[in-house]
Amino acid sequence: MFAPRVAVSSLSGESDAAWADAAAPHVGAAFLGGVALDDASQAAARDLVARGRSEFLADDPVAFVADQLDSLAGFDGADRFVAVNVRATSSGPIREVAAVCADRGAGVEINAHCRQDELCAVGCGETLLRDTDRLAEYVAAAAESDAPVGAKVRAEIDGVDLPSLAVALDDAGADWLHVDAMDSEAVIADVAAAAPDLFLVANNGVRDRETATEYLDYGADAVSVGRPSDNPAVLRRVRTAVDDWFAGREGDAESGDESGVSA
């Protein structure tokens, strides 16, 4: 989907076009957002701001997405990728924002990840992990636009089987799955085995060579950096580690050793 195989991951209220452009020298992808699209999710975002959390609040969130994508300057190469992480309580707004993204060559990432009480109370974020049909509906609605579509999900949720969920989202038309592995890094291997056609982006704690290559060894196609995404030193370290890992894979293939296990 993109190269280099390093992304910066959405941070609510912070991950805008300027943030993405600052990271562009070091990464192949940026996930902007998250952006609340409808009245219920926007009300929840306002409640979060009232208690001190940073959120994107816009009178017209779809126009906000369009403006952000139009102002990007650093992601114009064939191997570069941008998507917008979005929240909604129905498929209509997702279908609308997906059309905007498709017109600009960008993707849509359905947020099934945020765990704040305010968002969960209205049916956004990680509540979607326990409602596979609704999450799959959102993915399918976005896919109608022909924009690339993915979902960001979270591990360690009771009663949620991520490999099975990955299969359902693949069937619904998803192109990628962005997994916050929490403290269960090995779940990446299970998801990769269950849904091999999905491009798998691994997230959580990616800071250096050790943390990046662990996810790649488990079968991730790429890694994403969250909180330190505005730190060029961290992005350089991760980029170097990921480039070296894939260079090693190419060397193994040329020599006939395709085990892919890092030393």
Neighbours of 46 (CB within 10 A): 13
Architecture in CATH of 6-257: Alpha-Beta Barrel (3.20)
Question: What average pLDDT does the segment 229-244 reach?
Answer: 98
Q: 227 or 252, which is more confident?
A: 227
pLDDT band at 255 (very low <50, low <70, confident <90, very high): low
* Closest-CA residue to 210 (of 245, 184, 248, 252): 245
Residue 262 has pLDDT above 50, yes or no: no
The reported pTM is: 0.94
What average pLDDT does this structure show over 201-215?
Answer: 97
Where residue 78 falls among pLDDT bands split at 50, 70, 90? confident
pLDDT tens profile 111-166: 999 999 999 999 999 999 999 999 999 999 999 999 999 999 999 999 999 999 99
| Residue 256 confidence class, pLDDT cut points 50, 70, 90 | low
Q: What is the pLDDT of residue 260?
A: 40
Q: Is the pLDDT of residue 182 over 70?
A: yes
17-76 pLDDT, tens per residue? 999 999 999 999 999 999 999 999 999 999 999 999 999 999 999 999 999 999 999 998
Q: What is the pLDDT of residue 235?
A: 98
- Which one is predicted more confidently, 251 or 128? 128
Percent of the chain with pLDDT over 90: 92
pLDDT at 167 over 70: yes
Residue 251 has a pLDDT of: 65
Is residue 99 within 8 A of residue 91, CB to CB? The reply is: no
How would you classify the pairing of strands 199-203 and 222-225? parallel
pLDDT score of 250: 77
**Confidence (pLDDT) at 77:** 82
The predicted pLDDT at position 249 comes to: 84
